[in-house]
Amino acid sequence: MSGGSVFAGKELLIFDLDGTLVDSSPLHARAYVAALAPLGVPVDYERIAGMTTTEAIAQLLGEAQVDLAADARDALRRDKQQRALALIGDELEALPGAVDFVAEARRHHLPCALCTSASPPSVEAALRKTGMSGWFSPVITSADVSRGKPDPEGFLLAARHAGVAPDKALVFEDSESGLAAAAAAGMEAIRIGSEGTDWFEAIARLRQAR
């Protein structure tokens, strides 16, 4: 992130959830591994990060050449989501500085939206666990889109609900699929994580800009 100008002219901040605001990626990875282990299907979570559970399971089963009927796939999806939900309730933590950044943005009256490939129960549990319930509007989840990231549908839907042009939105993402979705939506994006910036630097830049 170079300089505070990245916030100039932005009317909406759109946040990914898993791996961006909360340290849930290891929990989702464990849930996938546990759910797919009986089928002998390996899980490389980095390759499916940002996908909906349905899309991720379809890709993993396809790569492993495991053919399941629709009802069996649906049961597998529910099993994974239930495992992830339990882990989130027990172990989830926000990434360092993430809650402080969103609180700072709200203090500066910057509208904040959420766009995640997670299911509504998972999102609700994560926000509740980290004290961010009610902080985002709109909240776009896997239930609201027909195509997950890297498709831009979710980001465009968030901007439309907020009444903001895509180029006036700024996205915070950690995954390659999320960054690709932001680019396809015509939105500038900031990468959060080891290959990008951290929330404390983002807070400093926001304060400089405002």
Q: Which of 16, 18, 71, 174 is catalytic?
A: 16
Short-list 150, 122, 139, 114, CA closest to 27: 122
Element containing residue 38 per DSSP (H, E): none
Amino acid at 97: G
Contacts of 86 (CB under 8 A, 6+ apart): none
- Half-sphere exposure at residue 47, Cβ-oriented, CA atoms within 13 angstroms: 8
Q: Are 82 and 89 in contact (CB under 8 A)?
A: no
Amino acid at 78: R
Six-digit token pair at 36? Answer: 């797919």
3-state helix, strand, coil in the chain (%, to 5): 55, 10, 35
Q: Positive or negative, the Cα torsion across 112, 117, 120, 121?
A: negative
Q: Is 16 a catalytic residue?
A: yes
Outline where the chain has alpha helix (H): 25-36, 45-48, 53-63, 70-91, 98-107, 120-130, 153-162, 176-184, 199-209
Query: Which residue numbers are catalytic?
Result: 16
